[in-house]
Amino acid sequence: MVFSYYPGCTLKTKAKDLDRYARASAEALGITLNELENWQCCGGAFTMARDEIATKLSSVRALEASRETGLVTLCSACHNVIKQTNHAMANDEEFAMKVNNYMKLDTPYHGETKVIHYLEMLRDVVGFDKLAAAVKNPLKGKKIAAYYGCLLLRPGKVLGMDNPENPQIIEDFIRAIGGTPVIYPYRNECCGGYMATEDKALASKKSTLVMDSAAENGADMMITACPLCLYNLTKNASGALPVYYFTELLAEALGVKE
């Protein structure tokens, strides 16, 4: 099966591991991710002003180019921006009109592309049962804390990936690769990553709260899909747990990790 793939800026620079292991694992599972040509930065945040279209045009270009194949995203921030932009194009007539008038597309775009996160691809396309069957190196004995953060699941009615208050998708993924998921209170709370430059002390406080909560509930390690969360938890939290991209453990379990 083939999907269009939007890596985003960070996966080409600071988060190359998130991207590299995702591609290798997808191929091992029979999925081809075709990187979009000439993609541009999504902007990193979805602006709420309804009359602001400039920052969303790069997302619309990626969406319009993926009508036939569907679009897979991986970075939590990119997924959030692109999915919310797609929802706006499908449901906000005034916004869609302004965007289409500006872009002058041969066929106007109105949110036809199906956007899924890589985790949704594993759950809904591959299937966690088939993933488990493909595992060569199960992570037995590993107690793994899933860290969702604030962008992967919210707004819940738009992103539609999982219950934002009690998510299960990453825990089910951990079980599929042979690990033991650790449930802890702060797995879907903000780590403070967006505050790290302006208020490092607050970012450290929030990320340490997340890290300590996972450790107190028996975790050996944490995994995340967000480059900013991984950076903040690694650099600013005072806890001692190692933090990995979920795709690295996936590649390890499938036997394709370099």
**Tally of CA atoms within 13 A in the half-sphere of 73 that contains its CB:** 30
CATH 3.40.50.11810 in the chain: give the residue spans: 134-254
Q: Look-up: residue for tokens 């916004």?
A: 95
Q: What is the mean pLDDT of residues 44-51?
A: 88
What does the pLDDT read at residue 247? 98
CB 143 within 8 A of CB 182: yes
What is the overall mean pLDDT for the chain?
Answer: 96
What does the pLDDT read at residue 141? 96
Contacts of 114 (CB under 8 A, 6+ apart): 70, 71
Q: Which of 52-56, 129-133, 192-196 has the lowest mean pLDDT?
A: 192-196
Q: What is the mean pLDDT of residues 65-76?
A: 97
Classified by CATH at the fold level, domain 2-118 comes out as Glutathione S-transferase Yfyf (Class Pi); Chain A, domain 2 (1.20.1050)
Q: How far apart are CA 218 and CA 159, in angstroms?
A: 30
Predicted confidence band of residue 41 (pLDDT cuts 50, 70, 90):
very high
What does the pLDDT read at residue 258? 82
Predicted confidence band of residue 253 (pLDDT cuts 50, 70, 90):
very high
- The whole-model pTM stands at 0.96
Classified by CATH at the fold level, domain 134-254 comes out as Rossmann fold (3.40.50)
What does the pLDDT read at residue 196? 83
Q: What is the mean pLDDT of residues 13-24?
A: 96
Neighbouring C-beta atoms of residue 141, cutoff 10 Å: 9
CATH 1.20.1050.140 in the chain: give the residue spans: 2-118
CB 41 within 8 A of CB 79: no
What does the pLDDT read at residue 184? 97
Per residue in 95-153, pLDDT tens? 999 999 999 988 999 999 999 999 999 999 999 999 999 999 999 999 999 999 999 99
What does the pLDDT read at residue 49? 86
Predicted confidence band of residue 50 (pLDDT cuts 50, 70, 90):
confident
